[in-house]
Amino acid sequence: MMPTRRDLKFDLADVDLKRWNANGPLLSAYMNTLSLFFPDGERFFIHSLRHYRDQVTEPELKKQITAFIGQEAMHGREHEEYNERLEAQGLPAAKLGREIFTIIEAAKKLPHDVQLSITIALEHFTAIYGDLLLRKPEIIDGSNPTMSAMWRWHALEETEHKAVAYDVYAKVMGKTLRAYLLRTSALVVITSVFLSAIAWTMARMVKADTEHRHSLRDWAKFGWLMLGPVGALRGIALPWLDYFKPGFHPWDHDNRHVLAQIDTLASQYAAAPRKLEPMAVAA
């Protein structure tokens, strides 16, 4: 699977970001919270892969690394724009973004192999979240079309490049017990840190949304989406566990058929005009 860098632009100027998701303000807040983690998170993935790029000799994997970096840089740019608009609409995106930046900068001080193990653990998360979003369209169906397209694009490209960082890790770490223990323990630690950070960040995003008094019904709907049959949480439990198989590989779960929709989406948004100039990406 060779990922393709697509320079897509999503004009969010007229989107009510507090209410963009048809499932209500809390799912909007949840996905807005995820967006706060992306620009610096994706720069961290780029940083950790770049360190190993020269150690990779296979031309195919080298090209995949370049494409991975290109895709993550585009995602970072669009989510940066998204986050600026959250701030402009009265949400504390800049302050929360700085807190996330501090955590990520601390992670950059860890040994490089640990940084790579964190990257593949988080890429596992983005792959299973992306797959869930594509398999369960009710998560974004009926929502603002530009927002739906943006999230679909990100989910599709996360699927397309889901094995790149993993293959680099397998290449440089080998099939040793240490490689297995580092990879799996990183997932355990990252899961607790990541889910707590999301919950804490989302709580403050919700608190800052003073225009809307979140009712019991809003919370029940959100709880149903997370824990019910759609299973924003339940749906990721089994794929999460797969990571502990000693011979695990991201493409063991072959979902490449979902990528069929990417060209239509790309042609729709590649030419879309945007009212603001894109921000520079410090990748």
The least distance separating Fe ion from the CB of residue 74, rounded to whole angstroms, comes to 8
Contact status: 124 vs Fe ion (CB under 5 A): no
- Cβ nearer to Fe ion, comparing 21 with 126: 126
- Tell me if 67 sits within 8 A of 5, measured CB to CB: yes
> What would the DSSP string read from start to end of 172-197?
HH-S-HHHHHHHHHHHHHHHHHHHHH
- List of residues 6+ apart from 262 with CB closer than 8 A: 6, 153, 156, 157, 160
- Tell me if 30 sits within 8 A of 67, measured CB to CB: no
Candidate residues 9, 18, 75, 77; the one interacting with Fe ion per rule CB under 5 A? 75
- Tell me if 95 sits within 8 A of 101, measured CB to CB: no
With contacts defined by CB under 5 A, name the span among 7-15, 67-75, 136-144, 242-250 that binds Fe ion.
67-75
Residues of this chain, 239-268, that bind Fe ion according to CB under 5 A: none
- Tell me if 104 sits within 8 A of 40, measured CB to CB: yes
Chain residue whose CB lies nearest Fe ion: 75
The least distance separating Fe ion from the CB of residue 244, rounded to whole angstroms, comes to 21
- Cβ nearer to Fe ion, comparing 26 with 31: 31
The least distance separating Fe ion from the CB of residue 220, rounded to whole angstroms, comes to 31
With contacts defined by CB under 5 A, name the span among 73-81, 202-210, 236-244, 252-260 that binds Fe ion.
73-81
- Kindly write out the interface string for residues 148-167 of this chain, putting x where it contacts Fe ion by CB under 5 A and - elsewhere: ----------x---------
Axis-axis angle for helices 112-135, 164-173 (nearest 10): 150
- Tell me if 278 sits within 8 A of 16, measured CB to CB: no
- Cβ nearer to Fe ion, comparing 18 with 161: 161
Sign of CA dihedral 153, 159, 160, 166: positive
- Cβ nearer to Fe ion, comparing 30 with 37: 37
- Cβ nearer to Fe ion, comparing 139 with 164: 164
- Cβ nearer to Fe ion, comparing 158 with 218: 158
CA 33, distance to chain mean position in Å, is 11
With contacts defined by CB under 5 A, name the span among 118-126, 179-187, 214-222, 244-252 that binds Fe ion.
118-126
Binding region for Fe ion (CB under 5 A): 72, 75, 126, 158
